[in-house]
Amino acid sequence: MLDTDKIAALRSADVPPALHLIEGAAQPASDGGTLPVISPLDGKELTTLARGTAADAEAAIASARAAFDDGRWSGLAPGARKAVMLKWAALIEANALELAVLGVRDNGTEIGMALKAEPFSAAATIRYYAEAIDKIYGEIAPTAPDALGLVHREPVGVVGAIVPWNFPLMIGAWKLGPALAAGNTVVLKPAETASLTLRRVADLALEAGIPPGVFNVVLGEGAVVGEAMALSMEIDVMVFTGSAPVGRRLLENAAKSNLKRVYLELGGKSPNIVFADAPDLDTAVKVAANGIFRNSGQVCIAGSRLLVERSIHDAFVEKLRAFTETMQVGDPLDPATQAGAVNSARQLEQNLRFVSEAEAAGRQVFGGKRIREETGGFFMEPTIVTGVAPEDSIAQREVFGPVLAVIPFDTEEEALQIANGTDYGLAAAVWTADLSRAHRMIRGIHAGLVHVNTYGGSDLTVPLGGVKQSGNGHDKSLHAFDKYLDLKTAWIKL
C-alpha cells in the first residue's frame, strides 16, 4: 500500500532550482538563465531549471572526454564498476517514493504507474546491466594455425543521451545502464518538461561512487543543448528517444560534425489488432483501454490504432466505451487514479486539435474534452474515435495523448495492410486463438515488437527497437550493449 501521508508531505515540499551537474558539481547556466517548471497538476510554477547554453554543453562534454581518456571509470576492473552501479540501484530504490512523487509533480503520470515504471524500473535496469558487466567476453577467431585473431570489445567513449518527458527514469536508465556498464562516460540532456528526477538520480550516482565527470547532466532546451551535443566533435555516440523531426536533426548534425553514430527511437502509431476469435474479448477490451489511456496515452508503444474485425466491431466498441467510462482520470497523486495529467499545456492543445480535426472529418468521437479545468492542471478525457479511415490524420500521425482511433477490417490480409500502412513500426499486438494466424501476423507486421493476446509488459530480457521511421538500434536486453561497445580486432602472427 502506498503511504498517503508521505505522499501528501512530498506533494507540498519545496523543490529547489535544478542546476547542471558537470564534473561532479552543481552549476548554474553560464549566463545565469533559467526556465520555469510548470506542474501539469495545477498549471503553477514548481521550480526552475538552469537554461543550458552551448557553452554549458561543451563544458560537460569536455568533462566527459577527460574522464574517459584518463580511465577513471573505464580503467576500473569490471567488478569495481559493478559494485558502484549496484549501490546506485539500491539508492534509487531507497528513494523511490520521493523520486516518484517528484516525477508526478513534474510530468503528471499517475502515482501507481510512476512508482513501478520509474524509480523501481530504473533501479532494476541499472542492476541488470551492472550484473552483466563481468559476463561479456571477447572472442577468438577460427584462424589458420599460424595466426591468432582476437576480437576485443571496448567502450566507444563519450555518449550523448537525450531522453523524453513521458518516462524519464525508465527510458533514461535504458541508456545510462548499458552505456556506463560498458565503461563509457555520459552527457545527459533530459526533457525540459521532465528533468527533475533524472537530475536527482545523477546525485545518487555520485553518492554511489561514480567518479565526477563520468555522468554529467545539462538541463535546458533541445534546440540549444541538444544541438550543441549533436554538433560536437567529442561525442562518439548519440542516443535519443523522441520525435522524428528532432531525430532527423540529430542525424544531420552528426553528418556535419564527426559522423558520430546516432541511435533513435522515434515513437509509433502502433496497431492493436483484435480478431473475432480472440480467446477473451473482455480481457482484450480492458487491455486495449489501458494500452492507450494509462499515463494519458503518453507511451511510446501505446496501442493508438485499434483494428477490430468487422463482425465484432460494434459490440467490442460498446464494451470499450463502457469500460473507459469506469476509468478514473484525476489527481495523479491519488492512488485510486488510473489516468493522470497530460504533460503540458502545449501537449494538451495538440491532443484536442487532433480530436477537432477528426470531428470535422465526420468521425464519431466519444470523450475528447478537457476536464478538471478548475484545478488549473492539464487533464483530458479518454477519447475513442470511430469510423476512422486508415488514411486519416488521426490514424497516421502520433498524437501522444489519450486518443484511440478505431478502424474495422474484414480479412487478415486487410488487417496487415492497415497495420503496415503508416511510416512507423515500433510495436503492435494481435488477439487471436489461431496459433498459425498469430505467427503469420508476427511475420507480416513491420514492427520491432509484436504482442500476442496481450499489450505491453515485456521485460528487460528482450530488446525494444523500431523499424521504418520508428528508428534504429535497440534499448533493453543484452543487445543494448551493441550501441556502446566497439569491436577491435587483433591479428597476431604466430
Q: How many CB atoms lie within 10 A of CB 344?
A: 21
Identify whether 265 is a catalytic site residue.
yes
Q: Give kind and range of the element (H or E) at residue 492.
A: strand 485-493
**Helices assigned H by DSSP within 244-293:** 244-256, 281-293
Which of 351, 285, 279, 340 lies closest to 315, judged by CA? 285
Alpha carbons 23 and 226: distance in angstroms, whole number: 19
Locate cell 467510462: which residue?
Answer: 325
CA distance 233 to 258: 5
Cβ neighbours, 10 Å, residue 61: 23
Choosing from 265, 309, 398, 412, the catalytic residue is 265
Could you tell me whether strands 25-27 and 20-22 are parallel, antiparallel, or unpaired per DSSP bridges? antiparallel
Counting beta carbons within 10 angstroms of the beta carbon of residue 260, is it exposed (0 to 12), middle (13 to 18) or buried (19 or more)?
buried
How many beta carbons lie within 10 A of that of residue 233, not counting itself?
Answer: 10
d(C-alpha 346, C-alpha 351), whole Å: 9
Q: State whether the Cα torsion 375-380-382-386 is positive or negative.
A: positive
User: What burial class does residue 488 get, using C-beta atoms within 10 Å of its C-beta: 0-12 exposed, 13-18 middle, 19+ buried?
Assistant: exposed
Count each helix (H run) and each strand (E run) in the chain, helices first: 16, 21
Query: How many Å apart are CA 185 and CA 201, to the nearest integer?
Result: 16
Measured CA distances, 36 to 48, 151, 166, 194 (Å): 4, 49, 18, 11
Residue 373, class by beta-carbon neighbours within 10 Å (0-12 exposed, 13-18 middle, 19+ buried)? exposed
Cβ atoms within 10 Å of 235's Cβ, excluding its own:
28
For residues 333 and 101, the answer to whether their CB atoms sit within 8 Å is yes
Alpha helices (H) along 70-120? 78-94, 96-107, 111-115
DSSP reduced 3-state for 277: coil
Give, as one character, the DSSP assignment of residue 480: G
Contacts of 245 (CB under 8 A, 6+ apart): none
Which residues carry out catalysis? 265
